[in-house]
Amino acid sequence: MFYSSGKQNFVVKKKDNLKKDIIETLMKMLNEVNPYVKKFRSARDRFNTDPENSFHMRIVSERSKDGRTYNTPTASEVAALIPGDFSLDMDKRDIVLQQKSGKLLRINEIHASYLALQYPLLFTYGEDGFRLGIKKGATEKTKKHKKPNISMRQFFAFRLHERKNESHALLHSRRLFQQFVVDAFTTIESNRLRYLKLNQPSLRSDSYDSIKESENAGKVDMNEQGTEFTLPASFVGSPRYMKNNYLDAMTICKHFGFPDLFITFTCNPKWPEITRYVKARKLKAEDRSDIICRIFKIKLDSLMDSLTKKN
């Protein structure tokens, strides 16, 4: 893990100043309450006692029950020790631990166990993270929605709020919280990009048709073209998104004339609203980037409201 702190960059390696008593307390806690620690320890013991047989441990991605925060885990739902080989049609989102495989295994971001395995100190009880098919609460408002399931963005946005009946360990974990936020953002973006990659023909019908016409006419050697992935204008930051915004700005200038003012609005982490909030929790402004963003958005909306509606 690489961290950047002010002018000094450093790579976190072995820590010699760790407090042994704290480490022992954490290990004891995880051994008692974390289902994955128990399963991995059980797998280790099984591998050591019977090294001749080939065993696998499978952490199942599908859940037969709703993965609430503090549900008591069921062994068949969390992990299973299975001798021999797995079938080829197994869910690719499952996490499989193989004896002496010697290979690195990438955990899919939409696996329900991803967060619990990535952040065992934040999700001590092995709580489920995001998974496909989480239903929205049944209310009159949600019944009108076309999408009955919670998106990945909505799931992580929900986790970034304090609630009186929930632990604040995640929100008070300082740099680990920063890593969690970055991880959440990259997970959402990679999931969106994966969807766009798998649905290219329907997203770029015009350019796709022109390429096929050139191929059929023999005008283009497709071996020299490579693979093209087109990002739609709805994807924030894509070339089409930027071009559309530019064209919109030029159209506004054409209709109303050139702008009289160029206003920039920046955030100050020492705003009293921010300092008051973080000091009450013995944190620093950089420890709660989500609060900085929210207060900035509130003030920006207030500024825009004053400019556009209050003259």
Instruction: Provide the pLDDT for residue 5.
Output: 47
Task: Supply the pTM of this predicted model.
Answer: 0.71
**287 belongs to a structural domain:** no
**303 belongs to a structural domain:** no
**265 belongs to a structural domain:** no
Instruction: Provide the pLDDT for residue 283.
Output: 94
pLDDT in tens, the chain (311 residues): 344 444 444 444 455 677 888 888 988 998 888 888 877 777 777 667 766 666 666 666 665 555 544 444 443 333 333 334 434 344 454 556 555 555 555 667 788 888 888 888 899 888 888 888 888 877 777 677 778 888 999 999 999 999 988 889 999 999 899 989 988 888 888 888 888 888 887 776 555 556 566 666 665 565 555 566 788 888 888 888 999 999 999 999 999 998 888 899 999 999 999 999 999 999 999 999 999 999 999 999 999 999 888 87
**221 belongs to a structural domain:** no
**268 belongs to a structural domain:** no
Q: What is the residue whose two structure tokens read 């994966």? A: 194
Q: How many domains does the chain have?
A: 1
Interatomic CA distance for residues 43 and 22, integer angstroms:
26
**284 belongs to a structural domain:** no
Instruction: Provide the pLDDT for residue 217.
Output: 63
**306 belongs to a structural domain:** no
Instruction: Provide the pLDDT for residue 291.
Output: 95
Phi-psi region of 100 (alpha: psi -120 to 50; beta: other; left: phi over 0): left
Instruction: Provide the pLDDT for residue 39.
Output: 78
- pLDDT tens across 138-155, in order? 777 767 777 888 899 999
Instruction: Provide the pLDDT for residue 130.
Output: 87
**234 belongs to a structural domain:** no
Q: What single-letter amino acid sits at 191? A: N
Instruction: Provide the pLDDT for residue 82.
Output: 37
Instruction: Provide the pLDDT for residue 304.
Output: 92
Domain housing 60: 2-196
- pLDDT tens across 262-287, in order? 899 999 999 999 999 999 999 999 99
